[in-house]
């Protein structure tokens, strides 16, 4: 998950991908991964899932 500035974006604000967003839920920092990423960029989705597994991070699936 990296900050970036989309081409043609006005101003100098950085933003995140709409598919992977940082969040704080009940005081716990985490990320929300949009499942559309799995179809759009399978390698990016696999990287996130593998990173979580390799680092023994707690994961859960929710529909929002």
Q: Where are the domains of the chain?
A: 31-63
Our CA angle for 9, 14, 25, nearest 5°, is: 130
Q: Does residue 38 surpass a pLDDT of 70?
A: yes
Task: Write out pLDDT tens, residues 23-32.
Answer: 998 999 999 9
- Token pair in block for residue 40: 């759009």
CA–CA separation, 51 vs 5, rounded Å?
Answer: 24
Mind listing the pLDDT tens digit for each residue in 44-61?
999 999 999 999 999 988
Strands (E) in the chain, as ranges, are 20-25, 28-33
Pairing verdict, β 20-25 and 28-33: antiparallel
| pLDDT of res. 48 | 94
Q: pTM value?
A: 0.71
- Cβ proximity of 14 and 7 under 8 Å: no
**pLDDT range class, residue 7, cuts 50, 70, 90:** low
């Amino acid at each position: 998950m990296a900050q970036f500035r989309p081409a043609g974006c006005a101003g100098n604000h950085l933003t995140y991908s709409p598919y992977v967003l940082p969040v704080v839920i009940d005081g716990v920092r985490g990320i929300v991964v949009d499942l559309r990423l799995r179809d759009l960029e399978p390698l990016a989705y696999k990287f996130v899932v593998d990173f979580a597994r390799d680092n023994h991070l707690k994961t859960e699936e929710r529909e929002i």
